[in-house]
A = this chain, B = another copy of it.
Amino acid sequence: MKDRIASLPRGLYLIIDPEVAGGRPDEEIARQAIEGGARLVQLRDKQQEKGLQLPVARRLKEICAQAAVPLIINDHVDLALAVEADGVHVGQKDLPVSIVRRLMPSAIIGCSANNVEEALHAQADGASYVSVGRLFPTGSKADTRPATLDTLRAVKQAVHIPVAAIGGISEENIDAVLEAGADLVAVIGAVVAAPNVREAARRLAERISEHRQRSGQD
């Protein structure tokens, strides 16, 4: 089945949360972040009902498809199917990965995992990647559980699928996150709330790319 699974890039992973965007259009943020170097985009809207998220998700799908950047929908498999998104990201209280994999056999499926056990479980169930976080304080998702760089390191060593780091990541701490083994660096506020979205994304993407060159990954 592996070859049917949508290919998962490495690098900067933009999470669009309308609560953080401060009223700026989601699709404009996505477009600029992709221009700056985002390789993966997620729509995460914990507030609005799905019928209201649908037009936003549709426009994001168009923008992402044009740039060959996969679009991931947080939580809602039905919304993802509706807009033919490339994948879904689920947390520990959402539908389990095994079920999501059955509903979307060839999709990118991400799963939040805050310890090695959860990460191995997600991998065994068919996750395409796991995310570890919130690593640093952040205002953007009240219900997140904290995690440390040590957790990130331990998860990275335990699984063979890519690992995303998330939570309060910025230019100040991105190097530590990359050193700990993050394959994907998920950002919200650092890009979505930046005065210049394209430039903020570009600087972070550059740091990732420098790290990958230094460590011989590119």
Give the docked Cα–Cα distance between A82 and B76 (Å): 12
Partner of A78, one of B54, B91, B93, B95: B95
Give the docked Cα–Cα distance between A52 and B94 (Å): 7
Give the docked Cα–Cα distance between A94 and B82 (Å): 12
Give the docked Cα–Cα distance between A52 and B95 (Å): 8
Q: Is A79 an interface residue (CB 8 A)?
A: yes
A96 to B, closest residue via Cβ: B51
A51 engages B92 (CB within 8 Å): yes
From A75, A90, A93, residue with most partner B Cβ within 10 Å: A93
Give chain B nearest CB distance to A158 CB in angstroms: 22
Give the docked Cα–Cα distance between A77 and B73 (Å): 15
Q: Is A67 an interface residue (CB 8 A)?
A: no
Give chain B nearest CB distance to A109 CB in angstroms: 13
Give chain B nearest CB distance to A23 CB in angstroms: 20
A51 engages B93 (CB within 8 Å): yes
Give the docked Cα–Cα distance between A75 and B100 (Å): 17
Chain A 57-97, CB-CB to B under 8 Å as 1, else 0, gives 00000000000000000011111011000000011111110
Q: Is A50 an interface residue (CB 8 A)?
A: yes
Give chain B nearest CB distance to A107 CB in angstroms: 12
Chain A 94-119, CB-CB to B under 8 Å as 1, else 0, gives 11100110110000000000000000
A50 engages B82 (CB within 8 Å): no
Q: Is A49 an interface residue (CB 8 A)?
A: yes
Instruction: Give chain B residues whose Cβ lies under 8 Å from the Cβ of A81.
Output: 77-78, 103
Instruction: Give chain B residues whose Cβ lies under 8 Å from the Cβ of A51.
Output: 90-96
User: Can you sample 20 A-B contacts with CB below 8 Å?
Assistant: A49-B94, A50-B93, A50-B94, A50-B95, A51-B91, A51-B94, A51-B95, A51-B96, A52-B93, A54-B96, A54-B99, A77-B77, A77-B78, A77-B81, A78-B78, A78-B95, A78-B100, A79-B95, A82-B99, A82-B103
Q: Other than A54-B99, A82-B103, give 20 A-B pairs with Cβ distance below 8 A.
A: A49-B91, A49-B94, A50-B93, A50-B94, A51-B90, A51-B92, A51-B94, A52-B93, A54-B95, A54-B96, A76-B78, A77-B78, A77-B81, A78-B78, A78-B81, A78-B95, A78-B100, A81-B103, A82-B95, A82-B99
